[in-house]
Structure 1
Amino acid sequence: MNRIPTLDIRRFTDPAAPGDREAFVAELGAAYREWGFAGIRGHGIPTEQIDASYDVFKRFFALPDQAKARYHVAGSGGARGYTPFGVETAKDSKHYDLKEFWHVGREIPRDSKYAEVMPANLWPDADIPGFRDQAYGLYESLDQLGSRVLSALALHIGLPENYFADKTNSGNSILRPIHYPPITADDIPNVRAGAHEDINLITLLVGASAEGLEVLSRKGEWVPFTADADTIVVNIGDMLQRLTNHVYPSTTHRVVNPPGEKARQPRYSTPFFLHPNPDFLIDVLPSCITPDNPSRYPEPITAHGYLEERLREIKLK
């Protein structure tokens, strides 16, 4: 496999394609074992919905800094609302990323047992009408697609298809619209997003059709991955890597600064970070332990405990 594959998930979800589910599961599993990344098309999220979401995101980021700052919650680690430019820093990096972003979390009842660790959303609808409807609509669509991907991965490692269903139904998942402003200075040490791995189970990226995303191959080469406009990029995060004892690797990736005049253009992308429920215990799956791959993590950890550790590392806590 010399390039990151793109697969049509209708082969897994469409009953009219009998007999292809097993082949899809095998191909998806192989892609993730090799790359930790795959493109997913046939996902059923209308282009019109994605475009409408990007429209409200772009309008929010175009607001004056003073207006955006009203939606920044100091001391929250950026859990909800706005995080300004120059805050997030990739682990072990000396330079902050060239981006600002917004966080949308799951809407849960405020008397939920998870309410203490999953704060209420902020919504800038007073400034950007329709933001809430578009953002949360996209959140729900990506959450459902992520569940289908996890179902296929569960089958690939010998688990029941619905294994993840009751472990992610209240997950502290995050939709993150990102704005990378135009780069106006040459020879700066910062990049749009420094080399990193994601924290969560899987990440679904809408808007990877703009160039810049690069994935580190097993050979140590940076491989550009610019997906077609109808494709959502889905990659493995550290929580799933840990749960599967590195059967599915969480692959290092980055967003590089484009050359020349392209750097003077803004870039937008929207990842959805799919998390387990906060009290889910990340404990290596027995089916992923073999004589050749003994357990690398004898001590389990809750999803929330792991998230807190990692947020401190990237300067969000």
Structure 2
Amino acid sequence: MSQIPTLDIQRFDDPSQREAFVADIGATYREWGFAGIRNHGIPQQLIDDAYRVFAEFFALPEEVKRRYHVPGIGGARGYTPFGIETAKGAQHFDLKEFFHIGREIARDSKFADVMPPNVWPEVLPEFRDVGYRLYTALDQLGSRILSALALHIGLPADYFVTVTNEGNSILRPIHYPPITTPDVPNVRAGAHEDINLITLLVGASAEGLEVLSRKGEWIPFTAQADTIVVNIGDMLQRLTNHVYPSTTHRVVNPPGEKARQPRYSTPFFLHPNPDFVIDVLPSCVTADNPSRYPEPITAQGYLEERLREIKLK
């Protein structure tokens, strides 16, 4: 495969094509850790509305946006200003600002201490409705993809249902401002791997995403408008003993005049429930692939460890 495949998820819903689709998606993720997913069923109008409202938020004056920054929670909810997040091991911070929308849970939930309430910008009345509808749609799509991956490695299709139903998943609208300084040492998003189970990237407005192939080559991946980019995160890599690799990726600065245009992106980071124990699945351990992680760790423990590494905590 010289390029990252795009797959039609409607095949998963067709009993006559399900087995072949599971084989295809499994092979794609084993090779790339990335895939495009089309015919996903999320209305384009919802995606368009979300991007419009998110862009309106990022266009607000800095002092207004900072009202929605919550210190001391590692950016878990609300606004994170420009110049904070730094890719693991990177010297320079990423050229971005972002906003976090999390799962709405009862405040007497056992996870309330690690899943803070959402922060909603009352200056934009549409933000809450549109943002959470997109959150829910991506959460449901992610469950379908996880079902296919579960089947591929010999698990029941519903394996992930009860371990992600209260997951600390995050919708992250991102704004990469225009780059006006020549020879800036920073990049929009430094080379990194995602923390979570899978990431669903909907409607990125410009090229820039690059994926590191097994051969060590950076492969540009700009999906078609009707395609959602979905990649494996480190938690699923660890759970599956690297059967599904968490592939390094980055967002590079565009050349010339394109650098003077803003870029917007909205990934959805699908997490397991905070108390889920990430322990290598027995079906993913073989003589050729012995267990790489003898010590289990909870999803919350792993998340906190990684947030410190990227300077959000």
1:181 aligns with 2:177: yes
1:237 aligns with 2:224: no
Counterparts of 1:164 and 1:177, CA distance in 2: 25
Indicate which of 7, 12, 22 corresponds to 2:19: 22
2:86 aligned partner: 89
1:114 aligned partner: 111
| Residues 209 and 226, structure 1, Cα contact 8 Å, conserved in 2 | no
1:266 aligns with 2:266: no
Counterparts of 2:204 and 2:283, CA distance in 1: 33
CA gap of 1:209–1:29, structure 2 versus 1, over 3 A, is farther
What secondary structure does 1:103 align onto?
A: strand
Counterparts of 2:101 and 2:192, CA distance in 1: 21
With the length of structure 2 as denominator, give the TM-score of the two structures. 0.99
Counterparts of 1:136 and 1:209, CA distance in 2: 20
With the length of structure 1 as denominator, give the TM-score of the two structures. 0.98
Counterparts of 2:141 and 2:252, CA distance in 1: 27
1:153 aligned partner: 149
Indicate which of 265, 277, 280 corresponds to 1:281: 277
What is the deviation of 1:18?
3.4
- Structure 1 letter corresponding to 2:21: F
| Residues 208 and 233, structure 1, Cα contact 8 Å, conserved in 2 | no
1:221 aligned partner: 217
In structure 2, runs of 5+ residues without a counterpart are none
Counterparts of 1:18 and 1:253, CA distance in 2: 34
| Residues 205 and 263, structure 2, Cα contact 8 Å, conserved in 1 | no
Matches within 5 A, 1:13-92: 13=13, 17-92=14-89
What is the deviation of 1:208?
3.2
In structure 1, runs of 5+ residues without a counterpart are none
Residue-by-residue CA offset, 1:201-254 (whole Å, 9 max, x unaligned) = 000001235200000000000000000000000000000000000000000000
2:99 aligned partner: 102
| Residues 209 and 228, structure 1, Cα contact 8 Å, conserved in 2 | no
What secondary structure does 1:195 align onto?
A: strand
- Structure 1 letter corresponding to 2:142: G
What is the deviation of 1:170?
0.1
| Residues 205 and 264, structure 2, Cα contact 8 Å, conserved in 1 | no
RMSD of the alignment, in Å?
0.6
- State how many pairs are aligned: 313
Counterparts of 1:154 and 1:22, CA distance in 2: 12
1:9 aligned partner: 9
Counterparts of 1:3 and 1:256, CA distance in 2: 18
| Residues 179 and 268, structure 1, Cα contact 8 Å, conserved in 2 | yes
Identity of aligned residues (%): 80
- Structure 2 letter corresponding to 1:92: G
1:167 aligned partner: 163
| Residues 123 and 131, structure 1, Cα contact 8 Å, conserved in 2 | yes
Counterparts of 1:279 and 1:253, CA distance in 2: 28
1:306 aligned partner: 302
| Residues 209 and 227, structure 1, Cα contact 8 Å, conserved in 2 | no
1:315 aligned partner: 311
Residue-by-residue CA offset, 1:162-186 (whole Å, 9 max, x unaligned) = 0000000000000000000000011
Counterparts of 2:15 and 2:88, CA distance in 1: 44
